[in-house]
Structure 1
Amino acid sequence: MIPCIFFARGRCRKGEACTFLHERMLRADDPPVAAFEALIISPDTQGPRLGPNLSGHPQNSSSDSRATVLCRFVTRLGGCRNAACPYSHNIDKPQTNSPGIPEEELKEDDEEDADIDFTRSLSGAAVHFNEFGNVERISLPADFSTARITGLPPHSTPHMVAEIVHGLQVEIDAECIRIPKQDSRLETMAIVRVEDPLFALKLSDKVRQHMTGLKAISLPTDSKPSNARKVYVSWHRPTRVVWLNFTVGGNLNQVAQRFNNAEYKILGQVVKATVEKASTYGHSGFHKPVIGTVTLSNVPADAKSGDIGRIFRYSDRLTHTEMGAPSYMAKHAEVGVDVRSRLEEHGALESFYMPPTQPKKRVKATALFQEEADARSACSLNNTQIPILGKGKLTVTLVQAVKTKISTTIYTASRSMIDQERKRWQEQYLTLHVYHDPLKQFTTLKVEGNDAKIVADARKTIDKIFGGTLLMNEEEVLWSTALNSNGSVYRQLKDIESELNIAISRDKSKRQLRYHGSLDKLAQTVHRVTDLLKEKPATVHYISLDPVQFSWAIRAGFKNIQQALGEDIAAFDVVSKKITIHGTTQQYDEAMDIIAGKRTNAIFGPREAARWAQNDCPICFCEAENPVSTRCNHTYCLECFEGCCKAAASSSAFAFHVKCQGEEGKCTHIFTLQELRDSLSSSVFETVLHSSFQDHIKQHPNLFHYCPTPDCDYIYRCTTSGADRPSHTCANCLELICTSCHALHGRYACAEYKDIQSGGYEALERLKKELNIKDCPKCTTPMEKTEGCNHMTCGGCKAHICWVCMAVFSTSAQCYDHMTEKHGSIGLGLERFAF
């Protein structure tokens, strides 16, 4: 059918009565058209929630095809005045991306959870923080016990199991019970996990006493927390087969090649084309001479014959298009509901998300399970056919993901190194997503994959790249006291950054600079920074302020010092309450005179100070660099804000908190973790949480202790001397610790160990025999043999000793000769020798 030229111009007045084809001709610059059909299902949702297209069908604002063409009067002054105008009045244009930034980098993915979880795995414990960063609760693996109940009736539910256990006078919540999906031929099983270390043993005793048909056994509690609860589910969109019949003069091979080379696309999709044998009739037997047929596969099911016909040129000689049936008829939302129900057979979901439909070959959904075991069980659905998809199969993969947030400045400087790693990650089937916040101040990177170890290695690589390189000139760390302020030295350092397209981060507390960028510019940067710092030698003077002086300084007193001496000379640290003078003794004396009030010609009065305080950082009293605006309407330098947050732990005497320093330190606003998370990089935010955790442990020595083993930072819960289970095996170093006296005394009681410490000889000898410890016959230094042959060298006097008879020799050769002659061998393979 011939297209209507008036319809294409927006002028056809015949509507549906027109005998010409009313289909809009696509231009190369037209945006792709996609039906919007969103499905977002949360635990409290009873069914699918559709987007603007509530019916689930492709949206059609009017049966009149003119509604797809923009009215030519709507953009003119006064607009269209015809209330019954059949043409489209929607002049919204798609937003364009910023140049050089891929679309997926503009904002974070839609399936991100709205509720942020402030629970961290620290020192072998699950640490729960409240909204202000205080430790709310600490859960240790030893606080829990897990039991497996078998012999339950078929089709048992968690509530049914809770009722059965209630009959044994044991109270548990149904939420603590999980019934894993398993083969119907096997007996029903329930897993119960309760925050009570003795629960599993108590339940086993109750079952043995009262119930003969049930069994309950204790299971080991996993001490390594994991977060592999997310799965990705995908399936093919419905497609159809299309037969294209061509008449004499058409080049079938050329047409097929154009489809296979993606020169010809259908609704933006690449399809596969094959050439069939030529025949006299079309594929359905219509009576027209043809030279052959091109068969298209994987054609989108919603494609119409007109979508295909408009692709071809007149010279292609297409005579007829024949459409096959779709591979399945179910709508997008219907498939989503079916898939979700199949996932829920394996366990409860926290969320299920399907993004709006897009012109892609596969539909992708994300499901987050409440339990990791259920997510792993759901992976059994991978590569299985489900009826609603016809012969289509599901793809289900378990997702391991890590995220890190970094300053966009550092990300931009290090991007070339990330891009190099991205190629390697793609070979390892890892996916890297990059997101920028609206202000482009921070960049978030998320790595996803199926292999937990590979994902963890990628995270280490990212941390190493963004950690940067410490700037050193041979063995000397590059630093100058002039870098404590944002004066000329700091500004020149920023000029070096701009010229070399790198980033240099400054850490005032550690007095060091770190380089971020490609390694080929590192040597040049070291040379430039070294020359810069050599030009600014200065004597450093520190002025500690008392409360009265500090109050004066933050009320514009420091600004007067800075104006008198120069921005490069004076620096003010609000946290330590010190003013630093980088200059001569005369300049130091001048600053002291201003503080003492001997110089009264103040440049800044109260009004100027108030106006100045509104625009400057309340930490360094300079114009905010990389400004961070708070909810209490104060503005910090990003670097100062990070330093203030990291210093909060040492300045909080009781409850941990990060307090705003605005309004001369009088601002009462306490930052929430959500505010800190939005304004800090991942590394600094995690440092704040770890500081809060460490403060909590220090302030509660009667509740928690660190493992006494060197280099082990795991914690354990303290008990009293009369506790039923005072011993605890550290999950990290596997040492047996007494949770009452906090010593490593093996299986001995606390009283026996105290007797050993006080000189109990017999108890000491028993302990030494138990631990395979003997005293050197020469110097009495205790020695422990754990492996190897029976030749021992004393760590005290260096004597060579036979471990069997404790004979002493001056050389190792003499000892080996003795062992062979007297004992028949040197004792390799003997791990212990009995007394």
Structure 2
Amino acid sequence: MSCPVHKYIKITLGPGFVIQDVTTHNETRNLVIDNLPSGTKKDALVRLLESFGGTVVAVQMSSGGAYEGGKPFFARVQMKSHREAIAVANGLNGMKALRCNGELFVRPELPRAAIRSQVSDSSIRVSWTLPTTSLYLGFDTLEGAQMAVRTADGYDWNGYWVTASIYSGIPVVKEYDVRLSGLPPNVDHELVCKRFGVHRTDIMRDKPSRFLRGFGIPQAKNRLEGFGRIVGFDVSPAPYKDGVVRAWCHFETPDIALAARELDGIEQRCLNDEKIAISRVYSLEYPIRRTVHRHIGDAISNLREVVHRFLPGCLLRIPDHNKRQDTITFEINAEDSKSLLDIRARLADIVQGELVMDGNGPLWDRILSTPFGADRMNSIRSSNREVLIVVRKLQSFIRVIGPPEKRASAIAAIRQLVATFQRQPVHTVTLPASRPGLFMHPSLIRLREKHGTDKLWLDIRNRRLCIRGDEAMYAEVQTAVYTANKEVHSHDHSRTLCPVCFDEPTPSVVLSCGDVYCKECLAGYLAAGAETRHFPLRCFGDDGKCQKPIPLHVAQDVLQDEQWDLLVAAAFNTHVVAKPDEFRFCPTPDCQQVYRPGAKDTVYSCPECLLSICPYCEVEYHEGSTCDDQSYRINGAFDEASVGLQPYDLLALSDAYVLGVYGDF
């Protein structure tokens, strides 16, 4: 059975919720092999690829292939598995083979869903100087001139940013002159007189310039549309303090953006012969759930203003604000990757909020996974409506999202709640190995109803009851277990009885092995597997002798949708943790995505948190250096420092080196 996990990962489930197959977001079986020499035969290419230990499923030569006048060509190849494709890429890339002129270039070809989450190169930043004019105002007194400077300096004249200063030089208007710069070329002198208190005869104008309609924005956009389809055109808002208009143009493809960059530094007649400046822009999308955005909208608006004011070449925009969608997609634009990552990191800090910590780890208590804990957490939410409190039961952490000044009270309430829970001791009572179903005995059900599921729960893996309470409650549970065990022992252990409650199954669920359960008993046993994470989930009928996995279609029939999702996610996390050689967790704290190791010198963008990852080095992407450089920096520095040292010196050096690289723990 196939089903999605964490939105971007597909898994195949087997009986008992055993994970049979996992397809991650960065997984691909496809390769592109470039610089193949003319005349290369498909059979020869297949033999070369399979020499790395894999199986070639399909080969597609580029159009024309070996018949294009002896020019090198490329081929698309599909291997049997992701691991085989990565082995070929790491082994064959940069190798001289098949009599090629130079080296072969081999790179994995990601699926379309993964490509969409990568950094885009189809945008450019466009800027041009805005034509303005200057006026000289004459005053009889210094006080009048100074008053005019205070009034006019920094004045927003319909989008034109006016600067004013005391002026001495040519032209001379009166005893004290003031120069106003940055005015629109068609400025009305009568309005200048009214706003700054001067007579019409006391104004002189600098050399005239032609007025640019709409700040030149329509003209620039029309000029760029000649290169190809524009999917977005954003302009920094007026006023333009430095007299420069900046716009971000988003084309349909990177090729169009590359062609448009040819206009850089060329005078444009449509802009009154002003030169246009065009630079490359990186863009990245950042989706935010609408429910989260409601709590952080003001903080994001402040970030957009900061980006506009202090990072002239950058932009944070909303390309499509469709209210019908569950998410709002922001787009980050920057001229260099450092600025792009910086803005994304600041946006991520706002979106992810604050993780509630307990010392060095997340604050957590298992009661928070129970209905009782959820009710108590909902009461905290109702008292702190200006923040969003996210409780992740599978990952066992709490995150508070919202303005920092509002988060403090919610976090304090959460700490107090968990402290109240943890003040009570936890006792355990071991169940008989052949009768784990005693947990569903009527006497123990009555105790759970009396004390609550947060104080009495089942540890399936260790087959024991856990009690959070005082000695009196502990003794009460011990008595109930003894009574239930004695009562069950006197019954006929027929396979027609429910192995959980040892009663007539009502309503009954028959498994393929022949054992019969009550529907509610089986649902309770399966749901507990999301907490115990001991897979496969097996039948324990016939006094615990039956060990056949529970069929998935049966589990779907008895579990609610939420219980099913939690159990699938728990099975997936357990599988990933058990196979550290096959899977890697995203380096971003509390990000749920996993990926498979990839080829050297490639970059993978996590679809959840958008972190750029090197899937070969298994760290955040090291832009500007190769994977071999990264390995040499760590291993080479240690080897170089250790030359000529004795064994006892190497031990001390290793300790000192760890502290030097990773800091003092």
Under a length normalisation based on structure 1, what TM-score does the superposition of the two structures give? 0.38
Using CA pairs under 8 Å that are at least 6 residues apart, name the structure with larger relative contact order, 1 or 2: 2
The structure whose Rg is larger is 1
Higher helix share: 2
Q: Which has the higher strand share?
A: 2
TM-score, length basis structure 2: 0.46
